[in-house]
Amino acid sequence: MPDPLSEVLRSVRLMGGVFLDARFTAPWSVLSSISPEEFRPFIAMPGQVIAYHVILEGRLLIAVEGQPPIEARAGEIVLLPRNDANTLASATGLPSVSANALLQPSDSGGLLRIVHGGGGEPTRLICGFLGGEQHYNPLLSTLPRLLKLDIRQGASRDWVEASVRFAADELVRGALASSGVMARLSELLFVEAVRNYAASLSEEETGWLKGVTDSHIGRALTLIHGDIAKPWSADELAKEVALSRSAFMERFTALIGMPPIRYLKTWRLLTARLQLRETQVAIGQLAHAVGYESEEAFSRAFKREFGLPPARWRESLSAN
Protein backbone atom coordinates (compact mmCIF):
# COMPACT_ATOMS: atom_id res chain seq x y z
CA MET A 1 0.00 0.00 0.00
CA PRO A 2 1.39 3.48 -0.86
CA ASP A 3 3.32 5.41 1.75
CA PRO A 4 1.43 8.72 2.24
CA LEU A 5 4.63 10.73 2.58
CA SER A 6 5.99 9.35 -0.70
CA GLU A 7 2.67 10.03 -2.43
CA VAL A 8 2.52 13.62 -1.25
CA LEU A 9 6.16 14.26 -2.07
CA ARG A 10 5.50 12.97 -5.58
CA SER A 11 2.47 15.22 -5.94
CA VAL A 12 4.38 18.39 -5.14
CA ARG A 13 5.87 18.33 -8.66
CA LEU A 14 8.46 20.99 -8.01
CA MET A 15 10.33 22.80 -10.75
CA GLY A 16 13.34 24.89 -9.96
CA GLY A 17 16.42 26.80 -10.85
CA VAL A 18 19.43 28.52 -9.39
CA PHE A 19 19.98 32.22 -9.96
CA LEU A 20 22.74 33.47 -7.65
CA ASP A 21 26.38 32.78 -6.76
CA ALA A 22 27.16 34.80 -3.61
CA ARG A 23 30.59 35.36 -2.05
CA PHE A 24 30.87 37.23 1.24
CA THR A 25 33.69 38.18 3.57
CA ALA A 26 33.13 39.07 7.21
CA PRO A 27 31.65 41.27 8.46
CA TRP A 28 28.53 41.20 6.29
CA SER A 29 24.75 41.09 6.57
CA VAL A 30 22.13 41.06 3.80
CA LEU A 31 18.35 40.92 3.54
CA SER A 32 17.33 38.22 1.08
CA SER A 33 14.06 37.29 -0.61
CA ILE A 34 13.14 35.70 -3.92
CA SER A 35 10.96 37.92 -6.08
CA PRO A 36 9.15 37.10 -9.34
CA GLU A 37 12.10 38.58 -11.27
CA GLU A 38 14.35 35.79 -10.01
CA PHE A 39 12.15 32.84 -10.93
CA ARG A 40 10.43 34.24 -14.03
CA PRO A 41 13.25 33.07 -16.37
CA PHE A 42 12.60 29.49 -15.22
CA ILE A 43 8.87 29.17 -14.47
CA ALA A 44 5.64 31.13 -14.70
CA MET A 45 4.22 32.55 -11.47
CA PRO A 46 4.12 29.52 -9.13
CA GLY A 47 1.51 28.92 -6.46
CA GLN A 48 4.20 28.10 -3.92
CA VAL A 49 7.89 28.94 -3.75
CA ILE A 50 10.57 27.25 -1.63
CA ALA A 51 13.79 29.22 -1.39
CA TYR A 52 17.09 27.59 -0.52
CA HIS A 53 20.73 28.44 0.14
CA VAL A 54 23.54 25.91 -0.36
CA ILE A 55 26.55 26.82 1.76
CA LEU A 56 29.70 25.76 -0.09
CA GLU A 57 32.35 27.49 2.04
CA GLY A 58 32.49 29.09 5.48
CA ARG A 59 29.52 29.69 7.76
CA LEU A 60 26.58 32.06 8.20
CA LEU A 61 23.65 32.90 10.44
CA ILE A 62 20.17 32.92 8.90
CA ALA A 63 16.99 34.21 10.49
CA VAL A 64 13.38 34.93 9.54
CA GLU A 65 11.36 37.59 11.33
CA GLY A 66 10.20 36.61 14.80
CA GLN A 67 12.60 33.67 15.17
CA PRO A 68 16.17 33.37 16.49
CA PRO A 69 18.92 32.82 13.92
CA ILE A 70 20.32 29.40 13.14
CA GLU A 71 23.88 28.67 12.04
CA ALA A 72 24.65 26.92 8.78
CA ARG A 73 28.09 25.76 7.67
CA ALA A 74 29.73 24.44 4.51
CA GLY A 75 28.01 21.23 3.48
CA GLU A 76 24.60 22.32 4.78
CA ILE A 77 21.53 23.59 2.97
CA VAL A 78 18.88 25.89 4.39
CA LEU A 79 15.40 25.72 2.90
CA LEU A 80 12.59 28.24 3.40
CA PRO A 81 9.38 26.33 2.54
CA ARG A 82 7.26 29.51 2.45
CA ASN A 83 9.85 31.79 0.84
CA ASP A 84 10.03 34.05 3.89
CA ALA A 85 12.27 37.09 3.67
CA ASN A 86 15.43 36.24 5.58
CA THR A 87 18.57 37.82 6.95
CA LEU A 88 21.92 36.22 6.17
CA ALA A 89 24.93 37.44 8.14
CA SER A 90 28.37 36.63 9.45
CA ALA A 91 27.29 37.65 12.97
CA THR A 92 24.31 39.09 14.83
CA GLY A 93 23.75 42.81 15.34
CA LEU A 94 25.22 43.96 12.02
CA PRO A 95 23.43 46.52 9.81
CA SER A 96 21.92 44.81 6.77
CA VAL A 97 21.78 45.82 3.14
CA SER A 98 19.38 44.50 0.52
CA ALA A 99 20.81 41.60 -1.48
CA ASN A 100 19.00 42.96 -4.55
CA ALA A 101 21.08 46.14 -4.37
CA LEU A 102 24.27 44.05 -4.56
CA LEU A 103 23.35 41.90 -7.58
CA GLN A 104 25.80 41.88 -10.48
CA PRO A 105 25.34 40.20 -13.86
CA SER A 106 27.92 37.51 -14.59
CA ASP A 107 30.50 38.09 -17.29
CA SER A 108 29.34 34.96 -19.14
CA GLY A 109 25.65 35.85 -18.99
CA GLY A 110 24.97 33.03 -16.53
CA LEU A 111 24.25 33.36 -12.84
CA LEU A 112 23.83 36.65 -11.07
CA ARG A 113 26.63 37.29 -8.58
CA ILE A 114 27.19 39.06 -5.28
CA VAL A 115 30.65 39.89 -3.97
CA HIS A 116 30.38 41.77 -0.69
CA GLY A 117 31.90 42.19 2.75
CA GLY A 118 34.68 43.54 4.89
CA GLY A 119 37.53 41.29 3.77
CA GLY A 120 37.52 38.79 6.66
CA GLU A 121 36.40 35.16 6.89
CA PRO A 122 34.96 34.04 3.50
CA THR A 123 31.56 32.46 2.96
CA ARG A 124 30.26 31.22 -0.38
CA LEU A 125 26.77 30.04 -1.23
CA ILE A 126 24.50 29.46 -4.17
CA CYS A 127 20.83 30.42 -3.98
CA GLY A 128 17.91 28.86 -5.76
CA PHE A 129 14.25 28.09 -5.57
CA LEU A 130 11.72 25.35 -6.09
CA GLY A 131 8.27 26.30 -7.35
CA GLY A 132 5.02 24.35 -7.49
CA GLU A 133 1.80 25.27 -9.24
CA GLN A 134 -0.63 24.24 -6.55
CA HIS A 135 -1.59 26.66 -3.80
CA TYR A 136 -2.28 23.91 -1.25
CA ASN A 137 -0.29 20.86 -0.37
CA PRO A 138 -0.72 19.08 2.97
CA LEU A 139 3.02 18.64 3.30
CA LEU A 140 4.18 22.18 2.53
CA SER A 141 1.55 23.69 4.79
CA THR A 142 2.95 21.85 7.82
CA LEU A 143 6.66 22.54 7.41
CA PRO A 144 8.51 25.08 9.59
CA ARG A 145 9.70 28.39 8.17
CA LEU A 146 13.32 27.18 8.14
CA LEU A 147 14.67 23.69 7.44
CA LYS A 148 18.35 22.77 7.55
CA LEU A 149 19.83 19.72 5.86
CA ASP A 150 23.38 18.44 6.29
CA ILE A 151 24.29 16.83 2.97
CA ARG A 152 27.29 15.19 4.64
CA GLN A 153 24.95 12.86 6.53
CA GLY A 154 22.57 10.11 5.43
CA ALA A 155 22.66 7.18 3.05
CA SER A 156 22.79 9.35 -0.09
CA ARG A 157 25.49 11.60 1.36
CA ASP A 158 28.24 10.88 -1.18
CA TRP A 159 25.98 11.22 -4.23
CA VAL A 160 24.26 14.37 -2.98
CA GLU A 161 27.46 16.12 -1.97
CA ALA A 162 29.22 15.24 -5.22
CA SER A 163 26.21 16.41 -7.24
CA VAL A 164 25.97 19.70 -5.37
CA ARG A 165 29.64 20.46 -5.87
CA PHE A 166 29.51 19.47 -9.55
CA ALA A 167 26.46 21.67 -10.04
CA ALA A 168 28.10 24.55 -8.17
CA ASP A 169 31.18 24.41 -10.42
CA GLU A 170 28.98 24.39 -13.51
CA LEU A 171 26.82 27.20 -12.17
CA VAL A 172 29.81 29.47 -11.67
CA ARG A 173 30.50 29.09 -15.41
CA GLY A 174 26.89 29.98 -16.24
CA ALA A 175 25.80 26.43 -17.03
CA LEU A 176 23.01 24.32 -15.52
CA ALA A 177 21.09 27.27 -14.03
CA SER A 178 17.75 26.12 -15.40
CA SER A 179 18.56 22.56 -16.39
CA GLY A 180 16.63 19.42 -15.53
CA VAL A 181 19.71 18.23 -13.63
CA MET A 182 19.54 21.15 -11.23
CA ALA A 183 15.77 20.84 -10.82
CA ARG A 184 16.03 17.15 -9.94
CA LEU A 185 18.90 17.77 -7.58
CA SER A 186 16.95 20.55 -5.88
CA GLU A 187 13.94 18.28 -5.51
CA LEU A 188 16.06 15.49 -4.03
CA LEU A 189 17.52 17.87 -1.46
CA PHE A 190 14.02 19.00 -0.50
CA VAL A 191 12.84 15.40 -0.06
CA GLU A 192 15.88 14.60 2.09
CA ALA A 193 15.23 17.66 4.26
CA VAL A 194 11.57 16.73 4.74
CA ARG A 195 12.34 13.16 5.72
CA ASN A 196 14.97 14.31 8.20
CA TYR A 197 12.55 16.79 9.70
CA ALA A 198 9.79 14.18 9.97
CA ALA A 199 12.14 11.88 11.87
CA SER A 200 12.89 14.63 14.39
CA LEU A 201 9.29 15.43 15.41
CA SER A 202 8.45 15.11 19.11
CA GLU A 203 5.35 13.52 20.58
CA GLU A 204 3.83 16.96 21.22
CA GLU A 205 4.02 18.11 17.59
CA THR A 206 0.96 18.43 15.35
CA GLY A 207 0.58 18.74 11.59
CA TRP A 208 0.40 16.53 8.51
CA LEU A 209 3.83 14.98 9.01
CA LYS A 210 2.99 14.14 12.60
CA GLY A 211 -0.29 12.65 11.39
CA VAL A 212 1.61 10.29 9.08
CA THR A 213 3.53 8.90 12.05
CA ASP A 214 0.50 8.68 14.38
CA SER A 215 -0.60 5.06 14.80
CA HIS A 216 -4.29 5.85 14.16
CA ILE A 217 -4.20 8.79 11.75
CA GLY A 218 -1.25 7.39 9.82
CA ARG A 219 -3.30 4.25 9.22
CA ALA A 220 -6.24 6.37 8.02
CA LEU A 221 -4.00 8.33 5.65
CA THR A 222 -2.59 5.08 4.29
CA LEU A 223 -6.11 3.79 3.65
CA ILE A 224 -7.16 7.01 1.90
CA HIS A 225 -4.06 7.14 -0.28
CA GLY A 226 -4.31 3.42 -0.99
CA ASP A 227 -7.79 3.75 -2.52
CA ILE A 228 -8.89 7.34 -3.13
CA ALA A 229 -11.75 6.18 -5.37
CA LYS A 230 -13.43 4.31 -2.54
CA PRO A 231 -16.43 6.19 -1.04
CA TRP A 232 -14.87 6.40 2.40
CA SER A 233 -17.00 7.69 5.25
CA ALA A 234 -15.75 9.04 8.56
CA ASP A 235 -17.53 6.16 10.31
CA GLU A 236 -15.77 3.56 8.16
CA LEU A 237 -12.33 5.12 8.60
CA ALA A 238 -12.85 5.40 12.36
CA LYS A 239 -13.77 1.73 12.53
CA GLU A 240 -10.71 0.73 10.48
CA VAL A 241 -8.36 2.56 12.85
CA ALA A 242 -10.11 1.39 16.03
CA LEU A 243 -11.37 4.76 17.27
CA SER A 244 -14.83 6.09 17.96
CA ARG A 245 -16.14 8.44 15.29
CA SER A 246 -15.87 11.49 17.53
CA ALA A 247 -12.35 10.65 18.71
CA PHE A 248 -11.23 9.97 15.14
CA MET A 249 -12.70 13.21 13.78
CA GLU A 250 -11.13 15.25 16.56
CA ARG A 251 -7.71 13.61 16.25
CA PHE A 252 -7.63 13.74 12.44
CA THR A 253 -8.68 17.38 12.27
CA ALA A 254 -6.24 18.42 15.00
CA LEU A 255 -3.27 16.79 13.26
CA ILE A 256 -4.10 17.29 9.59
CA GLY A 257 -5.88 20.63 9.79
CA MET A 258 -9.11 19.54 8.11
CA PRO A 259 -11.74 16.77 8.52
CA PRO A 260 -11.01 13.42 6.84
CA ILE A 261 -13.61 13.62 4.07
CA ARG A 262 -12.54 17.11 3.08
CA TYR A 263 -8.97 15.85 2.98
CA LEU A 264 -10.08 12.96 0.76
CA LYS A 265 -11.85 15.30 -1.67
CA THR A 266 -8.85 17.65 -1.81
CA TRP A 267 -6.48 14.77 -2.45
CA ARG A 268 -8.69 13.35 -5.21
CA LEU A 269 -8.48 16.64 -7.11
CA LEU A 270 -4.72 16.97 -6.60
CA THR A 271 -4.27 13.41 -7.88
CA ALA A 272 -6.49 14.13 -10.87
CA ARG A 273 -4.46 17.19 -11.77
CA LEU A 274 -1.25 15.19 -11.65
CA GLN A 275 -2.79 12.57 -13.97
CA LEU A 276 -4.00 15.26 -16.37
CA ARG A 277 -0.46 16.57 -16.59
CA GLU A 278 1.33 13.23 -16.93
CA THR A 279 -1.09 11.05 -18.91
CA GLN A 280 -3.64 11.25 -21.72
CA VAL A 281 -6.31 9.32 -19.84
CA ALA A 282 -9.86 10.27 -20.85
CA ILE A 283 -11.63 12.71 -18.55
CA GLY A 284 -14.50 10.31 -17.84
CA GLN A 285 -12.11 7.51 -17.01
CA LEU A 286 -10.10 9.80 -14.74
CA ALA A 287 -13.25 10.97 -12.97
CA HIS A 288 -14.13 7.37 -12.10
CA ALA A 289 -10.53 6.57 -11.09
CA VAL A 290 -10.49 9.30 -8.45
CA GLY A 291 -13.91 8.51 -7.02
CA TYR A 292 -16.48 10.61 -8.88
CA GLU A 293 -19.70 8.99 -10.09
CA SER A 294 -19.93 11.17 -13.18
CA GLU A 295 -17.69 13.24 -15.42
CA GLU A 296 -19.94 16.25 -14.85
CA ALA A 297 -19.56 16.14 -11.08
CA PHE A 298 -15.80 15.78 -11.44
CA SER A 299 -15.58 18.69 -13.88
CA ARG A 300 -17.55 20.96 -11.58
CA ALA A 301 -15.37 20.09 -8.59
CA PHE A 302 -12.16 20.49 -10.59
CA LYS A 303 -13.19 23.90 -11.93
CA ARG A 304 -14.17 25.04 -8.45
CA GLU A 305 -10.70 24.11 -7.16
CA PHE A 306 -8.44 25.13 -10.06
CA GLY A 307 -10.43 27.68 -12.07
CA LEU A 308 -10.79 25.65 -15.29
CA PRO A 309 -12.61 22.43 -16.15
CA PRO A 310 -10.20 19.49 -16.55
CA ALA A 311 -10.22 19.38 -20.38
CA ARG A 312 -9.40 23.07 -20.67
CA TRP A 313 -6.82 22.83 -17.91
CA ARG A 314 -5.04 20.07 -19.84
CA GLU A 315 -5.20 22.13 -23.05
CA SER A 316 -3.64 25.08 -21.25
CA LEU A 317 -0.53 22.99 -20.53
CA SER A 318 0.33 22.67 -24.21
CA ALA A 319 -0.27 26.39 -24.71
CA ASN A 320 2.40 27.35 -22.16
Q: Which DSSP category does 319 fall into?
A: H
Partners of 129 in the β-ladder: 17, 51
Three-class secondary structure of residue 20 per DSSP: strand
Reduce the DSSP state of residue 320 to 3 states and report it.
coil
One-letter identity of residue 167: A
Residue 247, pLDDT score: 96
State the Cα torsion 87-200-227-136 to the nearest 10°: -10
User: By C-alpha distance, which of 45, 11, 14 is closest to 185?
Assistant: 14
- pLDDT of 88 reads 97
Determine the pLDDT at residue 244. 96
Superfamily of domain 209-319: Homeodomain-like (1.10.10.60)
Give me the pLDDT at residue 96, please. Answer: 96
What was the pLDDT predicted at 41?
56
User: Would you state the pLDDT for residue 123?
Assistant: 97
pLDDT in tens, 185-237: 766 777 777 777 777 777 666 677 778 778 899 889 888 888 889 999 999 99
Q: Could you give phi then psi for residue 65, rounded to 5 degrees?
A: -55, 135
Q: At what angle do helices 260-278 and 310-319 cross, to 10 degrees?
A: 40
pLDDT < 50 regions, the chain: 1
Alpha-helix residue ranges (DSSP H) falling in 214-244: 217-226, 234-240
What is the CATH code for 4-200?
A: 2.60.120.10
User: Domain map of the chain by residue range?
Assistant: 4-200, 209-319
pTM: 0.66
